[in-house]
């Protein structure tokens, strides 16, 4: 065997013992076994074959080198080396997974075949018979148990509704002189229970179909006002012609009124117009007389005669009505002496109530609808 050149050194290749000594290392490196095998061949075997240890007529390295070179083992220093190693590992895992899937499929096919064979041996049970239809006749009812005799109860007095009281005669059917007394008597009997502190002394009808009741000397104005609603309800049922349709009645305090005459006031009648209206008289009196504006008027001023009876260019008297509970306003106006209206001064005088004419036999029935 020829001696080696003096300038050539042989480095000892790495021992495979360091790579495969630990079984756990072998197991963990199993997917990369082709990679390590190629590294081993390239770094260990390839340097030893670089020297002419075999047939000397070989061109470069020898016969064994060319045999190993024919395996096409990739060079780790090339860029495609690790890509080829990863592709090889994936292919191995894919093959192993495919084998597992094939084994699982074969096992499931065997189980399905066994289940089909078992189901083929089973038979369907016959259908259950339908229940028979009930007969048309209903079943007999059970006999009810005998009832116990009723217990004797203690005697109870049953309250009977008292018979309705006879309705008093309508005041309109009584003679005119007896009507106020009948109303006053009926109201006092009703007030005796509901408002015992209120008593009435008299009652009268006015020409305007209003009923005026006067309280007794021991009744205060406050007590009479508090009983006004009860008085109106009692009169509503007492004065109605039917119990189903009560007559609407409203009650309010009867405040004392005072009246004055304003004499020598132009009526305003001409060939083109009639007498001044109550609203026109109110406007001119309020505009020209401050004392008149302070009055609490009960109604608008009116002429003492019908407006159609005045001639053109005539003058007449106006009647002014105002609330005066104490009578002080009347005395102040009389002391004032006169008021102005339509650019004319009118003198003030007391109003004198004319005596009421006696009722004729034709209208002896009195007012038809007192309120």
Q: 58 with 96, same domain? A: yes
| DSSP β-bridge partners for residue 338 | 347
Contact 219, 201 (CB under 8 A): no
pTM of the model: 0.40
Residue 43 in any domain: the answer is: yes
In a domain? residue 119: no
The residue behind tokens 């084998």 is 99
Please check whether residue 358 lies inside any domain of the structure.
Answer: no
Domain-located, residue 118:
no
* 270 in a structural domain: yes
Within-domain flag for 211: yes
- DSSP at 79: T
Kindly list the strands in the beta sheet with 344-350, ordered across the sheet, starting from the edge strand earlier in the chain. 297-303, 315-323, 257-266, 344-350, 338-341
Instruction: State pLDDT tens for residues 312-364.
Output: 999 999 999 998 888 888 898 999 899 999 999 999 999 887 665 554 444 44
Domain boundary residue among 110, 142, 159? 110
C-alpha–C-alpha distance, residues 206 and 212, integer Å: 7
Looking at 29-38, 86-95, 134-143, 184-193, which range is the least confident one?
29-38
| CA geometry: angle 98, 100, 101, nearest 5 deg | 65
Residue 89 belongs to domain spanning: 12-110
What is d(CA 23, CA 77) in angstroms, rounded to the nearest whole number?
28
Structure tokens at 185: 């008597």
Q: Are residues 307 and 218 in the same domain?
A: no
Question: Among residues 76, 93, 110, which one ends one of the domains?
Answer: 110
Structural domain tally of the chain?
Answer: 3
Q: pLDDT tens across 168-200, in order?
A: 555 555 666 677 888 888 889 989 988 889 998
Q: Are residues 32 and 102 in the same domain?
A: yes
Closest to 262 measured CA to CA, from 252, 248, 276, 251: 276
Give the domain-ending residue among 76, 92, 110. 110
pLDDT digits (tens, 9 = 90+) for 300-313: 999 999 999 999 99
**CB environment 150-180: b (16+ within 10 A), e (fewer):** eeeeeeeeeeeeeeeeeeeeebeebeeeebb
Please indicate, yes or no, if residue 168 is contained in any of the structural domains.
no
pLDDT band at 159 (very low <50, low <70, confident <90, very high): very low
CATH number, domain with residue 333: 3.30.70
Question: Which residues 6+ apart lie within 8 Å of 80 measured at CB?
Answer: 74
- 306 neighbors 235 (Cβ within 8 angstroms): no
Note whether residue 218 is domain-resident.
yes
């Amino acid at each position: 065997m020829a001696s080696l050149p003096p300038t050539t050194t042989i480095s000892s290749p790495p021992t495979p013992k360091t790579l495969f000594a630990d079984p756990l290392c072998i197991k963990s490196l199993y997917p990369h076994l082709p990679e390590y095998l190629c590294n081993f061949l390239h770094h260990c075997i390839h340097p030893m074959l670089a020297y002419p240890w075999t047939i000397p007529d070989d061109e470069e390295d020898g016969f064994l080198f060319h045999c190993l070179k024919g395996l096409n083992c990739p060079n780790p220093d090339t860029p495609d080396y690790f890509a080829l190693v990863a592709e090889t590992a994936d292919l191995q895992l894919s093959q192993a997974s495919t084998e597992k899937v094939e084994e699982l499929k074969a096992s499931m096919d065997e189980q399905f075949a066994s289940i089909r064979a078992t189901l083929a041996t089973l038979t369907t049970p016959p259908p259950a018979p339908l229940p028979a239809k009930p007969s048309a006749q209903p079943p007999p009812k059970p006999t009810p148990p005998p009832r116990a005799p009723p217990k004797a109860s203690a005697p109870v007095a049953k309250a009977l509704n008292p018979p309705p009281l006879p309705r008093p005669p309508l005041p309109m059917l009584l003679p005119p002189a007896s009507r106020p007394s009948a109303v006053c008597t009926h109201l006092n009997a009703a007030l005796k229970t509901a408002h015992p502190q209120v008593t009435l002394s008299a009652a009268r009808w006015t020409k305007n179909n209003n009923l005026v009741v006067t309280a007794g000397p021991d009744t205060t104005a406050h007590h009479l006002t508090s009983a006004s609603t009860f008085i109106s309800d009692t009169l509503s049922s007492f004065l109605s012609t039917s119990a189903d349709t009560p007559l609407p009645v409203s009650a309010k305090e009867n405040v004392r009124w005072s009246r004055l005459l304003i004499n020598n006031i132009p009526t305003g009648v001409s060939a083109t117009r009639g007498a001044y209206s109550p609203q026109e008289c109110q406007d001119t009196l309020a505009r020209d007389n401050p004392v008149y504006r302070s009055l609490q008027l009960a109604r608008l001023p009116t002429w003492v005669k019908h407006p159609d009876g005045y001639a053109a260019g005539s003058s007449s008297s106006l009647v002014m009505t105002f609330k005066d509970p104490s009578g002080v306003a009347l005395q102040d106006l009389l002391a004032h002496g006169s008021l102005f209206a339509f650019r004319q001064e009118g003198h003030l005088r007391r109003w004198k109530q004319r005596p009421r004419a006696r009722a004729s036999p034709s209208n002896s029935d009195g007012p038809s609808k007192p309120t």
